[in-house]
Amino acid sequence: MLKGKRVLLGVTGGIAAYRAAELARMLTREGAEVRVAMTAAACEFVQPLTFQALCGHPVMLSLFDQQEESQIGHIAAARWPDCIVVAPATANFIGKAAGGIADDLLTTIVMASRKPVVLAPAMNWAMWQNEFVQANLARLTALERFQIVPPEEGEMACGETGKGRLATLDFIIDRVVYASREEKDLHDETVLITSGPTYEDIDPVRFVANRSSGKMGFALAREARARGGRVILIAGPNSLIPPCDVQVVPVRTAAQMLEAVRKHAPEANVIIKAAAVADFRPARTADRKIHKDEGDFSLPLVKTVDILSELGQSKRHNQFLVGFAAETHQVMTYGSQKLREKRLDLIVVNDVSEEGAGFEVDTNVVKVIDNAGHIEQWPMMPKAKVAVMLFDLIQKHRANQKGPDKGRDGHSVRPSHRPGGGRRRRSKRGGGGGGGGGGESRGGEGRANGGNPEGQPA
């Protein structure tokens, strides 16, 4: 998500400085070119050679080192990055930044730069609560280019417990991604994303589920937030770290997801249904564990509400609805059918039996069909990249809908969304189906494993 971006990592003198080495590695792994500037106090905790080995560049240490200044001066260093991240940011550094003090290399770089600055404070809980620290943070927060990643609560190196631990590194990465993105094409818009599986209880011990991990939905949420959107992520059970600055609504069952979607869908401009919602649930849930010595056991299943179809029918004229379909055969046939029947703007289809395109992996291989019948086929790529390309495509289609829409043969057609809920007029070649919606995959047979999940598992 940071491919081609240049990030300057500032490290100040706190015990959390050792975690900055892992942060540097993670930034590099995300595709960023990373350079490091350290304060003198930081060097007491971590050797500069560590960062040089991780990033492949000499570490910047002093304003008065003639060799360093001849290689990359502090003014050039201030203009080099797309984003500056200071982690850990001590109370001392925060005070200097808020007061406009530039008495070492790192504070001088921050002062001379006009690029976004992400600060990840880390300090003892008492220092964090100090009124001067809070006043300094408030002053920096009021400046548009400074973003604060608040510390976490927990046990500290001193043995005390409280708020002051360096934030989860994934949160810091998320904020760097957001700050580095210049184009915010979802600014002031709300994006609703569903993700993960649902669990349908058989008894207090067992449940019907599927293999979705939620990774695709979480990648979509991060990308939407990076584009400036207000993101609501309705997430089924998962073990993932939630994206930073995203409103997460945890759910367990299909009924709970339906309730959450009904609550939040009216405010959304874009809805992406990537959740693998069970198509079927047990007809009844036992209030005690069912033992095998009770004899043979059969599990009657009943259909769950088709969330995506409901969204397609109630979709506003200015909503854009995207569905996912996880299939194992006749992928395009089933995908196109769902696109039409559920009034989708786009559907993302994949063959989960294909290597690298199924469940519980970090990659995907997808085909995207729009409601004019156009098909895009994307090779295997990380789910984060799929999210980028999908939002590029969504924004392209939304821009086209604001002006004259063109059918597959080039002739103008009515907009796919009308206040009265009308459908798109087919072009001469047909292939266009209903005008809107986003679709989850729903299976035709009831099975004890939940049938075909409603959406593309991530």
Same domain membership, residue 227 and residue 375 = yes
**21-43 tens-digit pLDDT:** 999 999 999 999 999 999 999 99
Alpha helices in 325-437 (DSSP H): 331-341, 383-401
Do 28 and 169 share a domain, yes or no? yes
This prediction has a pTM of 0.81
Q: Are residues 121 and 143 in the same domain?
A: yes
In this structure, the number of other CB atoms found within 10 A of the CB of residue 90 comes to 22
456, part of any domain: no
What number is the average pLDDT over the span 309-324? 94
| 416, part of any domain | no
User: Which segment of 42-46, 60-64, 67-71, 307-311 scores lowest on mean pLDDT?
Assistant: 67-71
Which residues fall within 8 angstroms of residue 223, CB to CB, at 6 or more apart? 1, 384, 387, 388, 390, 391
Which tokens sit at 358? 């199924």
**Residues 143, 239: one domain?**
no
User: Residue 409: CB partners within 8 Å, gap ≥ 6?
Assistant: 427, 428, 429
* Per-residue pLDDT at 55: 96
Buried b (16+ CB within 10 A) or exposed e, 145-175: ebbbbebeeeebeeeeebbbbbbebebbbbb
Q: How confident is the model at residue 403 (pLDDT cuts 50, 70, 90)?
A: low
Boundaries of domain holding 334: 190-282+301-400
Residues 228, 114 share a domain? no
The answer on pLDDT for 337 being more than 70 is yes
On whether both 253 and 340 belong to a single domain, the answer is yes
Say which CATH number the domain at 345 has.
Answer: 3.40.50.10300
Q: Of 400, 419, 434, which residue constitutes the final position of a domain?
A: 400
Say yes or no: 212 and 85 in one domain: no
Question: What confidence tier does 369 reach under pLDDT thresholds 50, 70, 90?
Answer: very high
Beta-bridged to residue 10, according to DSSP, are 37, 86
Let me know whether 265 and 335 are in one domain.
yes
- DSSP letter for 151, please: P
Instruction: Name the residues annotated as catalytic.
Output: 158
**Same-domain check for residues 130 and 172:** yes
pLDDT digits (tens, 9 = 90+) for 210-266: 999 999 999 999 999 999 999 999 999 999 999 999 999 999 999 999 999 999 999
Q: What's the pLDDT score for residue 128?
A: 96
Q: Which two tokens stand for residue 208?
A: 């019907």
Q: Domain containing 141 — which CATH number?
A: 3.40.50.1950
Please calculate the CA angle 92-128-116 and round it to the nearest 5 degrees.
60
Higher pLDDT, 93 or 360: 93
Domain termination residue (choose one: 180, 208, 241): 180
